[in-house]
Amino acid sequence: MSKAWIVEDDLWDLIEPLLPPWPGKSPGPRPVPDRQCLQGILFVLHTGIGWEDLPQELGFGSGMTCWRRLKRWTDAGVFDQLHQILLARLNAANRIDWSRAAMDGSHIDAKKGAPGTGPSPVNRGKPGSKHHLICDGNGTPIYVLTSSANVPDISRALDLLDGYPPIAGRRGRPRRRFTTLMADKAYSSQAFRQACRERGTEPIIPKPRTSGIKGLGKLRYVVEQTFALLHQFRRLAVRWERHLDIHDGFVSLACALICWRRLINWTDQRSC
């Protein structure tokens, strides 16, 4: 994780045009440069350190400075836009597997009383949140939602299926629907299966009280891998943010970074 928070020039070239302009006559001292603030945000995301403990000797500014900049950029949808740009680039490189998608939910501990938290059914009723994720057949994160830990997976299934915009990058209309969708028994619902088919996606979901579908676990393993990648960012492994929008901003940034790494790895492989 050494210096994982350093913003590479190529990545900064993608991010900088998305940032809202700073007011020309804003009061107070000269603001910390955006790139330095972004590196402070990445430092917190990677290490899980508290905002108040952000080391100022690294030149990031104070924790509150970085928090306010994260809030401003999240409200402007900067990281959501970055995620979509990188998905489009992966799609242009034929690195999105449209043959299948997978969805699931994963619990995380959370601070008590924050919006989007509730008693966790897997942690003795302690406060928690849940990440709901849909990824492609390669495990590339397409869309993530955050809810209370006690929210059933099936209740957010259609939100996952419909929540992300079409992905550009290839000739013709941007694509949105996967050929098949794999999920576990928590998503078993005739209404949801019908909704998938109406959207042109064939659901592969085992029914309750059955032995399951042979080989489905191996195919669904990619979504567990994606959760592992997402929760390697220590600020997401436990939800410390009381503000749900700030937490979701971190999630969008993490998804974009995962896509960026995959794009760079593919580029490096081609150049070898």
| Range from 2-6, 17-21, 104-108, 248-252 carrying the lowest mean pLDDT | 2-6
Is 194 inside a domain boundary? yes
Tokens of 270: 């081609």
Among 35, 74, 102, 82, residue whose Cα is nearest residue 258: 82
| pLDDT value at residue 44 | 96
Do 64 and 115 lie in a common domain? no
Exposure on the CB side of residue 106, measured as CA atoms within 13 A:
19
Do 259 and 166 lie in a common domain? yes
Give the C-alpha separation, 134 to 141, whole Å.
6
Q: Indicate the average pLDDT of the chain.
A: 90
Do 111 and 48 lie in a common domain? no
| pLDDT value at residue 1 | 44
Residue 236 sits in which domain range?
79-271
- Scanning the structure block, which residue is given the tokens 């397409």? 142
Residue type, 135: C
Number of domains in the chain: 2
CA torsion, ordered 65, 71, 74, 76, to nearest 10 deg? -90
Do 13 and 100 lie in a common domain? no
Do 205 and 261 lie in a common domain? yes
Would you list the DSSP string of 192-212?
HHHHHHHTT-EEE-PPTTS--
H or E segment and range at residue 43: helix 34-47
Is 142 inside a domain boundary? yes
pLDDT tens sequence across 203-256: 999 887 766 556 566 656 899 999 999 999 999 999 999 999 999 999 999 999
| pLDDT value at residue 89 | 96
Residue 265 has pLDDT above 50, yes or no: yes
| pLDDT value at residue 138 | 93
Is 170 inside a domain boundary? yes
Strands (DSSP E) found in 81-204: 100-110, 118-119, 127-136, 141-148, 180-182, 202-204
Neighbours of 53 (CB within 10 A): 9
Is 146 inside a domain boundary? yes
CATH number at residue 244: 3.30.420.10
| pLDDT value at residue 118 | 92
Do 58 and 85 lie in a common domain? no
- 133, 255 in Cβ contact below 8 A? no
Rg of the chain taking only CA atoms, in angstroms: 19
Per-residue pLDDT, averaged over 16-28, amounts to: 79
Do 161 and 226 lie in a common domain? yes
pLDDT tens sequence across 181-202: 999 889 999 999 999 999 999 9
Do 62 and 108 lie in a common domain? no
What's the predicted TM-score (pTM) here? Answer: 0.92
**β-strand partners of 127:** 119
Per-residue pLDDT, averaged over 116-125, amounts to: 90
Beta 238-239 vs 141-148: how paired, if at all?
unpaired
- 40, 49 in Cβ contact below 8 A? no
2 confidence band (pLDDT: 50, 70, 90): low
Do 152 and 171 lie in a common domain? yes
Residue 176 has pLDDT above 60, yes or no: yes
Do 60 and 129 lie in a common domain? no
- Scanning the structure block, which residue is given the tokens 């302690």? 126
Is 3 inside a domain boundary? no
Is 4 inside a domain boundary? no
Do 56 and 88 lie in a common domain? no
| pLDDT value at residue 213 | 59
| pLDDT value at residue 47 | 94
Give the C-alpha separation, 210 to 207, whole Å.
6
Is 2 inside a domain boundary? no
pLDDT tens sequence across 79-120: 999 999 999 999 999 999 999 999 999 999 998 878 899 999
| pLDDT value at residue 169 | 93
| pLDDT value at residue 268 | 73
Is 164 inside a domain boundary? yes
Do 166 and 54 lie in a common domain? no
